[in-house]
Amino acid sequence: MLSSFIARIVGRFPGKRAAAIALAAATLAGAVLAQQQPVPTVDAPAHAGPSFSIEVRAPASVKPLLERHLELRRYREVTDLDDAELARLIVMAERDVRELVGTLGFFDPRISIRREAGTGATPVIVVEVEPGSPTLVSQVALDFEGDIGNSADAAAVAQRDEIRSGWRLPIGQRFTQEDWDGAKTTALRQLVRRRYPAGRVSYSLADIDAPAGRAHLGLRLDSGPLFRLGPMQVTGVSHYDPLLVPRLARLPEGSLYDGDKIQQAQLRLAASGYYDSAFIFVDPAADPNGAPVQVNVREAPLHKVVLGLGMTTDSGPRASVEYLNNRVPGIGWRAATKLQLERKSPFIESDWTAIPGEDGWRWGVLGRAERVDDGQFVTNGQRLRVGRSWSGDRIDRNIYVQYDRATVQADPGITAPLADTGDGTAISANYVWTGRYFDRTPFPSSGYGLAVELGGGLTLTGSKSPFQRTVVRWLGIRPLTAGRLQLRAEGGAVLASSAARVPSTQLFRTGGDTTVRGYGYRDIGVALPGGVVGPGRYMAVGSVEWQRPIRHNGLVTNFESTLFVDGGGVSDTIAQLRPVFGVGTGVRWKSPLGPLQIDLAYGVKPKRVRLHFNMGVTF
């Protein structure tokens, strides 16, 4: 009989190799028999049922694994198995079960596999498993060789300590094959991320004492040599200045290899507007004393039009169009001109920037004209700015000279002095510093950001008076067990004589969707005669917001719920600064069209509820 011949052949091979040969031989046997048998008649059955069924009896800790991966399942469709062949498969299955539960850390299981009578003529193979006690890690030996193991350099010592402290399978934890593989992968990733891109695992061993339930782990990482960056090799450049890539990437020749800095350089190139994509590669097989930095970019079009739509309760619907020229003829600067149309604060702006110099600083010129209608005053403002800026991974700096002009038109019946409405002209010199220290962007879960603006200048309308302006902004995010806490604070002051006509673009008003909710757009300011509100010289705003993800079936969705308290005040003297408050709740949605924010806030002073809605998208 052909099946007996197969059994004799399979008997010569142990374990999984026998199982594979059995399956192949059974397939061959079916093909040979098919050639020998006559073609079945119409009345013959089209498909025979499985040769046997499987029932797994085991705790939930191992049952799903066995049900998915038992090799015994593969032989159920072999239709000509006899009793001897089935008995051989049962013997083979015990070894397979033992290996499977071993991957979960159970190395001393009790296994019983037997054949029982099933319904009809189909037998049932019962796989019964008692996994026993899990094996725990009792010893970890993590060693280093290569430069990182031999160097007394403080950076090498710190990297060794970081890898050891980040070990993911510590003493006392249950051993599983998945955790063991993951711990080795994480340790190697920490090694090659900085300084040692050619690092490798030179030795690894998991010594299992099954009766005692202990695992002794050994891992040795070979860092190889210390890598320094060599010259930059750029491909894909045709339209833009070849100097642009190295000046944006900021990976100087001779610096130590750092995977994080390389990733940040890629992001800077892609976010610059000059390139649609960027890929940076340092070959681990290159000369470690000066490994070439290979940069491949795909350039963005020279000209681009960006359209935008949005909606806020502050200003109603808005539409914008932006034209980008990445290389202005004659000077090679980048020009971004934007027109935004909305009911309360339309504007047109053009921002021109040069390519960065070797020190990272770049020149820029900005012009802006806007019209702000807050329901009481209509302010037509113009601004011209000339200066230099520097952008880093976390810190931005900006130094510029600025000309401001504000012409204020009041509704009939309002008799407030022009100096109180912000009508005026000024020139100033300014310095802005911004630091971002968040764990990730654009949706951080912890960290903080800080911005400081310092300026001083001279009013040009009426009496020429000096003034000084300071603004400080801070945003902090703190993780909680359920969600996160967002804290926001902002303060500003303009120091000048009482008669100085400082333009409203340099003064303060607040209230609305993004400042103090529960109040209308720019509702918070200095009370003027006739019950109107004007800009002030001192401002303070604060907010506390509890943000919680909304879950569905235990999974985090793109929705968040919030509870918040906002407060803020504006005045012409510190003594008169009296904050007003708003409290409320809201929903956030990371929609395909962009972030959507809906807040329902109660303004404590006006004693009324206000809906705040904010959504925008560009395309």
In this prediction, residue 563 carries a pLDDT of 98
Looking at the structure, do residues 349 and 464 belong to the same domain, yes or no? yes
- Which residues does 431 contact at the CB level (< 8 Å), separation at least 6? 397, 398, 399, 453, 454, 455
pLDDT, mean over the chain: 88
Name residue, tokens 């009766």.
211
Bond from prior residue into 442 cis (ω within 30 degrees of 0)? yes
Looking at the structure, do residues 523 and 492 belong to the same domain, yes or no? yes
Confidence of residue 541 (pLDDT cuts 50, 70, 90): very high
pLDDT in tens, 45-88: 444 567 888 899 999 989 999 999 998 888 888 877 788 888 88
**Domain with 73 in it: what CATH number?**
3.10.20.310
pLDDT in tens, 548-566: 999 988 888 999 999 999 9
For 5, which DSSP code?
Answer: H
Confidence of residue 372 (pLDDT cuts 50, 70, 90): very high
Looking at the structure, do residues 181 and 321 belong to the same domain, yes or no? no
Looking at the structure, do residues 432 and 500 belong to the same domain, yes or no? yes
Looking at the structure, do residues 202 and 236 belong to the same domain, yes or no? no
Looking at the structure, do residues 590 and 532 belong to the same domain, yes or no? yes
pLDDT in tens, 398-439: 999 999 999 998 776 666 666 678 899 999 999 999 999 998
Looking at the structure, do residues 311 and 295 belong to the same domain, yes or no? no
Domain termination residue (choose one: 130, 151, 168): 130
Domain termination residue (choose one: 274, 299, 324): 299
Looking at the structure, do residues 431 and 579 belong to the same domain, yes or no? yes
CB atoms under 10 Å from CB of 433, counted, come to 14
- Which residues does 93 contact at the CB level (< 8 Å), separation at least 6? 70, 71, 72, 113, 125, 127
Looking at the structure, do residues 393 and 505 belong to the same domain, yes or no? yes
CA distances (Å), origin 594, targets 220, 306, 427, 588:
47, 15, 37, 11
Does 2 have pLDDT greater than 70? no
Name residue, tokens 């491949």.
296
Does 444 have pLDDT greater than 60? yes
- Residues 460/496, Cβ–Cβ less than 8 Å: no
Looking at the structure, do residues 249 and 286 belong to the same domain, yes or no? yes
Looking at the structure, do residues 265 and 396 belong to the same domain, yes or no? no
Confidence of residue 590 (pLDDT cuts 50, 70, 90): confident
Domain termination residue (choose one: 299, 314, 337): 299
Confidence of residue 487 (pLDDT cuts 50, 70, 90): very high
pLDDT in tens, 315-356: 889 999 999 999 999 999 999 999 999 999 999 999 999 999
**Domain with 316 in it: what CATH number?**
2.40.160.50
pLDDT in tens, 591-600: 876 778 999 9
Looking at the structure, do residues 125 and 166 belong to the same domain, yes or no? no
In this prediction, residue 349 carries a pLDDT of 98
User: How many separate domains does the chain show?
Assistant: 4
In this prediction, residue 45 carries a pLDDT of 44
Q: Edge-to-edge strands of the sheet including 275-282?
A: 229-235, 291-299, 275-282
Domain that holds residue 190: 136-222
**Among 391, 481, 412, 485, which residue's Cα sits nearest to residue 446?**
485
